[in-house]
Structure 1
């Protein structure tokens, strides 16, 4: 290319310069022509000297944008990554200093389309809007949005000096004829990120960037996040809204990204931000080829009844698994089981408009429990804050998923995108104990006693009755000394003995419904079902009452907080208290904790020894 361009050759031969040179592989991936002069600047700059912009040698000197991340350890040139190890600095025959940087992507300047005779010389964002029909942006048009910018007298926002990011909805996004009426001056402000030039490869999905619509009365942030499949999405988040601009997020797909202009960069998007004018059902249908297309495909493979049911619910919240979540092997194994997949889909639907603010309030004192439309199945939300970063997880059917995009607002509720499909277990009993924050105390007890190792065995079938943390906390109030020693390494044998009672190993797993049916078959007799626990026979009756399931054991009524937490090698039933009572444990000073059986054996042994000694004395 350099050999074919006499202007570029003269620069290299005669002047100082910086060259940004794409690799051969970058050119192979690139579609269309490339401007060599847009990869050159007539000033020599090594990586430390690169500032926010470098004027290119192309006609009109359109800027090349520099993004430095991690204190300069990572550098992007527009959307291309600079391969720092391959940068070199030399002097030409005229002793002019020259720097060459290797980049992994071809730089694409703004150019006129094939049918235009107009000269496009480094336009700003407003000139881009007015000249868009003559610019090479594919089949995209921005006439509707441009007319709203003019109508709202927001031209100056797009002409503003400095370097900004402009998000512009294409005409196709206004196929709903009334949508353009919702584009007021505040919405237009929400499409501009001032004083920040964000190219997609350098975008940080977790970074909430302040939009021009951020004031005392209205607070809107914007984030860009690329997916592994190469698609890029933009999310506006109205953190504090008003009567015209509802609180919540709006998700849009970038249909053409990284268009450099004189005062920043333009991304064309497939729907306007901040505008909430679709129902949950319409949102899912509109996203057929987008971030949730796999979720939509599964719904339609089931006949689409789920969408119709959603319409009848009124306020609704959908926890929609991402496209990547559906690709998991364990999900693919059950996706053709129509009965199972319908239960799984229903597990992702909540009969309430539940945004993250509501989840936080529900989670203020305990892990939030929320019913789904799948019978008595509940979801359990947990809000974690680590190093100032908030993560919201949701557990359902043995799967612990993370909300990766929250509060996508609709007229009748919210959509949250999660990273796993609920109801399709992927972890063993041990893996579930290890990752579920509600079960951390029982997990620790199992570590101290060496009990947990067997729970990873996929050749066994476990039914494990596990006490949740709050259950152990209540136990500690009643029996503080016992509780303290149960969680001490030196008393591991005794805590192991207690855990053994809670674990059933059999040829099958026992769901709560199974245990209720087994109890019902006994009728009104005083008999109990007998389960082969690891320690001994576990005798109980199980009933289903208003509010859930209950275990009756040794005159105790133990609520089941979370039934049927499925795992790949069994099932966990989460209890509100241990299968244990005050007669079952004796604390004997420094001699330790003894189970009732162990204490009885010790007394019997002492009695036998005493009798034998007495007989010897008589002899």
Structure 2
């Protein structure tokens, strides 16, 4: 009886342990089944006997997409591509792991600087990973990801099955693979002719950029794809998946050596379009310096030795004019709306560009045209043509040349629009350089510089120039050339009125260099102009520079008015401003360019003052940047530490008289 009881107890204990072990083994499947956000993957997992066997018997890491990820996914889901037969928590994940799919194609792991971890193009969602041990004592890890993993597969119509090809086999058998309608025959032939097969067979993890056949419609383009250009389409020892990688982070290409240096980077626009760009930093006789953009046609195709991206056209090759680039880009490119604006206004601007032997275009991005301020002028053809011409420079102007021009001052460059200049400012060095350009009152940032063409450059900017979006105060506050006038106005609260959108201001703003000239002419007076204790008197000087009326006065308006009378009288806060404005022909030249131009000159109190930047438009007025303040020696009295302007002397005397009269009456 005792032995029987002992036997029963042992049997019960064994049964209990077996049940506990089975419960532990079922726990991972239970977690999948019980989580409603993972139900779609669990449903597919249940139907796959190999996946069920792995969960029951082996160590594994399973990458589980959320239901939301499935809603974005099209096509077949391959469950075994989401499983690898080794257990890795987030800290243990190596650079690549072999999946359990036939042929064991790898999954590539990217750990970025933000601490995020990606499997191919899918991000592991933090804090949702689970680590368990199954009934066989095998360690298992589950990571939740935000995208369904998409392997490279063979077309259902193909007679042979292709599993886990490297980049060379991918190109050779592309017609049998499920990559869409794109064909790669032209580029593949160039690779074979250049004997670069080994580059695409190299073991490891690399990024391969492969231009599709549509990118070779220009008849001579394929002949320009030599061995160095092919090298420039490969980023060795780095995999770039578009969601996992930093934007605009240049990577060294295989074409990076002593005599030729080419970097490649990826970026994504706000509209979702993705591009790769090559930047030939050091060129040679066959490979010109500059940036070439190529839109990604199909991204993130995993292969045995890395990742492939199909791109619209080859990188590094500069074989089109600025006009041809705009036309080629017009279908669905980054500058489509700029091209449409040109064509909607008669297309003459494109003809002007085409007739220039050297040209630089400041081309607003598609997003730049979405600004509400632009809607008001789209139907005004004359104004639109002026604005479009403001984006065109009759010179080859890359970043290095802008930097040279900007060495000692803000670079001033004439545009195709008469009387209009662009003003470049460069801050920082190398890849960290921040370039801004001002035109017609608008300050834009160059988001993509140096897109090289045979006859010039295209720089993509984030705003449309010439379409104001800020008040007079906003412009003063943000423009580095007007900082002294802004500072002086802040001391006395003079600037407060300049945000009023119910008024129309014409403000003659001395540029910083103009105030610096007054420091040379009268150091003591200049010092007090910028002291808070004398703000009232500085205000009186600024008021002379500000015309307030029911309209603004452009330089062209003032010239016409001056032709009808000796002096134009403009209403100011206190009284009036009497000036005359004339056009004077001149010759602008520096060591890089030479241009005929017509400038404006203001005559005030027999003094001639050049207008450095005319017609800086704002939402509530216009600014004319002048070379010297409207100031004379007699305006400033500096004696015994006192400082008074002529007008403030009158006001002070009036106040004294009023005080005296008041005392007498009392």
Q: Which of the residues 490, 493, 508 maps onto 1:447?
A: 490
Task: Give the 3-state SS of the residue equivalent to 1:213 in structure 2.
Answer: strand
Task: Give the 3-state SS of the residue equivalent to 2:46 in structure 1.
Answer: coil
Task: Give the 3-state SS of the residue equivalent to 1:320 in structure 2.
Answer: strand
Residues 174-189 of structure 1 aligned to structure 2 (within 5 Å): 174-189=216-231
CA 1:285/1:388 → structure 2, altered by over 3 Å: closer, same or farther?
closer
Residues 17-32 of structure 1 aligned to structure 2 (within 5 Å): 17-32=60-75
Q: Tell me how far 1:491 sits from its aligned partner.
A: 2.5
CA 1:327/1:603 → structure 2, altered by over 3 Å: closer, same or farther?
closer
Q: Which of the residues 580, 584, 594 maps onto 1:545?
A: 584
**Unmatched runs of 5 consecutive residues or more in structure 2:** 1-43, 587-598
Aligned position for 2:378: 335
Task: Give the 3-state SS of the residue equivalent to 2:192 in structure 1.
Answer: helix
* 8 A Cα contact 1:110 1:120, kept in partner: no
Partner Cα separation in structure 1 for residue 92 and residue 574 of structure 2: 71
1:596 aligns with 2:646: yes
CA 1:308/1:386 → structure 2, altered by over 3 Å: closer, same or farther?
closer
Q: Which of the residues 420, 431, 438 maps onto 2:474?
A: 431
1:242 aligns with 2:292: no
1:170 aligns with 2:212: yes
1:86 aligns with 2:128: yes
Q: Tell me how far 1:386 sits from its aligned partner.
A: 8.1
Aligned position for 1:43: 86
Q: Which of the residues 161, 173, 181 maps onto 1:139?
A: 181
Residues 97-496 of structure 1 aligned to structure 2 (within 5 Å): 97-288=139-330, 289-385=332-428, 389-496=432-539
* 8 A Cα contact 2:540 2:648, kept in partner: no
Aligned position for 2:5: none
Partner Cα separation in structure 2 for residue 582 and residue 501 of structure 1: 15
Task: Give the 3-state SS of the residue equivalent to 1:560 in structure 2.
Answer: strand
Partner Cα separation in structure 2 for residue 21 and residue 608 of structure 1: 86
Q: Tell me how far 1:400 sits from its aligned partner.
A: 0.7
Task: Give the 3-state SS of the residue equivalent to 2:129 in structure 1.
Answer: strand
Aligned position for 1:52: 95
Task: Give the 3-state SS of the residue equivalent to 2:333 in structure 1.
Answer: coil
Partner Cα separation in structure 1 for residue 472 and residue 114 of structure 2: 43
Task: Give the 3-state SS of the residue equivalent to 1:86 in structure 2.
Answer: coil
Q: Tell me how far 1:375 sits from its aligned partner.
A: 1.4
Partner Cα separation in structure 2 for residue 447 and residue 91 of structure 1: 69
Aligned position for 1:581: 632
* 8 A Cα contact 1:203 1:225, kept in partner: no
Partner Cα separation in structure 2 for residue 514 and residue 200 of structure 1: 53
Partner Cα separation in structure 1 for residue 661 and residue 470 of structure 2: 54
* 8 A Cα contact 2:505 2:620, kept in partner: yes
Q: Tell me how far 1:115 sits from its aligned partner.
A: 1.7
* 8 A Cα contact 1:504 1:531, kept in partner: yes
Cα RMSD between the aligned structures? 2.1
CA shift digits 1:37-62 (9 cap, x unpaired): 11112222222222222221212222
Q: Tell me how far 1:520 sits from its aligned partner.
A: 0.7
Partner Cα separation in structure 2 for residue 436 and residue 604 of structure 1: 38
Aligned position for 1:516: 559
Partner Cα separation in structure 2 for residue 610 and residue 31 of structure 1: 89
CA shift digits 1:362-387 (9 cap, x unpaired): 11111111111111211111111289
Moved more, 361-370 or 333-342: 333-342
1:568 aligns with 2:619: yes
Partner Cα separation in structure 1 for residue 453 and residue 658 of structure 2: 76
CA 1:85/1:484 → structure 2, altered by over 3 Å: closer, same or farther?
farther
Q: Which of the residues 555, 560, 578 maps onto 2:606?
A: 555
* 8 A Cα contact 2:242 2:266, kept in partner: yes
* 8 A Cα contact 1:223 1:235, kept in partner: yes
* 8 A Cα contact 1:201 1:226, kept in partner: no
Q: Tell me how far 1:283 sits from its aligned partner.
A: 0.7
Partner Cα separation in structure 2 for residue 84 and residue 437 of structure 1: 44
TM-score normalised to structure 1 length:
0.94
Q: Tell me how far 1:611 sits from its aligned partner.
A: 13
CA shift digits 1:415-454 (9 cap, x unpaired): 1111111111111111111221211222222222222222
Q: Tell me how far 1:490 sits from its aligned partner.
A: 2.7
CA 1:399/1:119 → structure 2, altered by over 3 Å: closer, same or farther?
same
Q: Tell me how far 1:266 sits from its aligned partner.
A: 0.6
Q: Tell me how far 1:600 sits from its aligned partner.
A: 4.9
CA shift digits 1:573-596 (9 cap, x unpaired): 1111111122111223444x2112
Aligned position for 2:570: 531
Q: Tell me how far 1:13 sits from its aligned partner.
A: 2.3
The structure with more radius of gyration? 2
CA shift digits 1:139-168 (9 cap, x unpaired): 111111111111111111111222111111
Q: Tell me how far 1:26 sits from its aligned partner.
A: 1.2
Q: Tell me how far 1:532 sits from its aligned partner.
A: 1.1
* 8 A Cα contact 2:448 2:460, kept in partner: yes
CA shift digits 1:537-582 (9 cap, x unpaired): 1111111111411111122111100000011111011111111122
Moved more, 379-388 or 97-106: 379-388
Task: Give the 3-state SS of the residue equivalent to 2:334 in structure 1.
Answer: coil
CA 1:606/1:299 → structure 2, altered by over 3 Å: closer, same or farther?
closer
Partner Cα separation in structure 2 for residue 95 and residue 349 of structure 1: 71
* 8 A Cα contact 2:207 2:306, kept in partner: yes
* 8 A Cα contact 1:233 1:254, kept in partner: yes
CA shift digits 1:343-364 (9 cap, x unpaired): 1111111111111111111111
Q: Tell me how far 1:605 sits from its aligned partner.
A: 7.5
Partner Cα separation in structure 1 for residue 651 and residue 662 of structure 2: 17
**Unmatched runs of 5 consecutive residues or more in structure 1:** none
User: How many equivalent residue pairs?
Assistant: 608
TM-score normalised to structure 2 length:
0.88
CA shift digits 1:103-147 (9 cap, x unpaired): 211111111122213222222211211121111111111111111
Task: Give the 3-state SS of the residue equivalent to 1:83 in structure 2.
Answer: coil
Residues 61-72 of structure 1 aligned to structure 2 (within 5 Å): 61-70=104-113, 72=115
